[in-house]
């Protein structure tokens, strides 16, 4: 035999030398859930090792992540029911604690990279990403609210704005709102191919942000999030976001959508991110808790597969654990 593929696998050193894909903590984004108040660190039951944080407890957490080389964070606010209304006005109000938390983090750790979430659902009493009227999610009427949210977030110091709402035309709308307000340096990470997935459950539970159950409010997000059956449509969404000025594009969820990550990465010359969403992380954590899978091998293999498929950036609730393992030299073997 001339050709023996096993020669390349014969030792730890050759495997490391010939490895095609490396994933570093710097390429991960750690989602953090926020709560207004003081001395709060409440574990999310369906997402072990993930918490709802108040700012005072969050700052040391961010410091420890930075020390591990984990520099990027995406922030999601839990909003008091009393502050929600039909038009999500708290989303861009000067009092919004989410904006204050961002400001405080950037002031304390200017080297961090903070990504925002732009959608109405945390602030909207209907629990939808857009305005709801007569049982419909309005598109064009939602855009100005998204624009205001994005400008308020840029002003608070967010480095990257993350529209997760899936309204048509929002990337262009937000880009021009940011530019007009003088924030031409603020980036946009677009949730380009965001599917109407069953895997967002723990996230909605963590933030209490699920669509409200009522006769005149749709109970799902299928009129704006994508049909899991569709792939060509992801290319169409991507072309729009690309032309509208997205700096990079995201696919969400990740594991069931590796083909979408691949096809976008092959077709576009901007970076592709993938959101390894709450339900995907919860499945793995649950199997590990039961002793059915080994966390320290299954978790890195999972993240690596998302990277290998074409995601340069991965948003994952395992970011800190991965960075910790990286530091301890447990990842490459
Ligand atoms: C809100 C938003 C959602 C997620 C991120 N931003 C929930 C949704 O669309 O219903 C889900 C993330 C996760 O499950 O980890 N627009």
82 is catalytic: no
| Mean pLDDT for back-to-back runs of 10 residues, the chain (333 residues) | 97 94 96 97 92 97 98 97 95 96 98 97 93 94 98 98 97 98 98 97 86 84 96 98 98 98 98 98 96 97 98 98 96 72
**pLDDT attached to residue 331:** 87
**Between vectors from CA 32 to CA 273 and to CA 119, what angle results, nearest 5°?**
65
Asked whether 164 lines ligand 1 (CB < 6 A), one says yes
User: What is the tally of structural domains in the chain?
Assistant: 1
CA 6 to each of CA 3, 9, 15, 333: distance values in angstroms, whole numbers, following the listed order = 9, 5, 10, 16
CA–CA separation, 215 and 192 (whole Å): 30
Give the Å distance between the CA of 193 and the centre of ligand 1. 13
The reply to whether 11 falls in a domain is no
The reply to whether 3 falls in a domain is no
Asked whether 117 lines ligand 1 (CB < 6 A), one says yes
The pTM (predicted TM-score) of the whole model is: 0.96
The reply to whether 7 falls in a domain is no
The reply to whether 175 falls in a domain is yes
The reply to whether 97 falls in a domain is yes
Give the Å distance between the CA of 13 and the centre of ligand 1. 40
Domain holding 307, by residue range, is 24-327
Give the Å distance between the CA of 243 and the centre of ligand 1. 24
Structure tokens at 266: 């092959």
10 is catalytic: no
Listed in sequence order, the residues at least 6 apart from 7 whose beta carbon sits closer than 8 Å to its beta carbon are 14
The reply to whether 5 falls in a domain is no
CA–CA separation, 219 and 243 (whole Å): 32
Task: Give the CATH number, domain containing residue 305.
Answer: 3.20.20.70
The reply to whether 198 falls in a domain is yes
Q: Which residue in 84, 194, 221, 320 is the catalytic one?
A: 194
Mutational pocket test of ligand 1: of 46, 78, 121, the residue with most ligand atoms within 8 Å of the beta carbon: 121
**pLDDT attached to residue 206:** 86
């Amino acid at each position: 035999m001339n050709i023996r593929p096993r020669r390349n696998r014969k030792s730890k050193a050759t495997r490391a030398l010939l490895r095609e894909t490396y994933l570093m903590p710097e390429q991960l984004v750690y989602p953090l859930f926020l709560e207004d108040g003081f001395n709060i660190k409440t574990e999310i039951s369906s997402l072990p090792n993930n918490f709802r944080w108040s700012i005072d407890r969050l700052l040391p957490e961010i410091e420890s992540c930075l020390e591990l080389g984990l520099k990027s964070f995406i922030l999601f606010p839990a909003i008091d029911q009393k502050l929600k209304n039909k038009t999500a006005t708290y989303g861009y109000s000067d009092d919004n604690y989410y904006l204050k938390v961002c400001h405080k983090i950037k002031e304390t750790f200017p080297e961090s990279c903070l990504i925002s979430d732009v959608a109405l659902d945390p602030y909207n009493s209907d629990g939808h990403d857009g305005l709801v009227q007569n049982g419909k999610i309005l598109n064009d009427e939602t855009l100005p609210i998204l624009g205001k949210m994005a400008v308020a977030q840029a002003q608070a110091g967010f480095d990257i704005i993350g529209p997760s709402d899936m309204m048509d035309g929002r990337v262009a709308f937000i880009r021009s709102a940011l530019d007009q307000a003088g924030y031409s340096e603020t980036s946009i990470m677009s949730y380009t191919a965001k599917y109407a997935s069953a895997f967002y459950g723990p996230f909605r539970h963590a933030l209490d942000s699920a669509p409200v159950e009522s006769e005149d409010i749709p109970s799902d997000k299928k009129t704006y999030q994508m049909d899991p059956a569709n792939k060509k449509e992801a290319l169409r969404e991507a072309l729009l976001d690309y032309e509208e000025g997205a700096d990079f594009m995201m696919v969400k969820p990740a594991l069931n959508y590796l083909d979408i990550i691949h096809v976008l990465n092959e077709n576009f010359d901007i970076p592709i991110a993938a959101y390894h969403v709450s339900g995907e992380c919860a499945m793995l954590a649950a199997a590990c808790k039961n002793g059915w899978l080994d966390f320290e091998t299954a978790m890195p293999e999972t993240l690596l597969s998302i990277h290998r498929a074409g995601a340069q950036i991965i948003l994952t609730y395992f970011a800190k654990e991965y960075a910790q393992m990286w530091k301890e030299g447990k990842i490459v073997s």
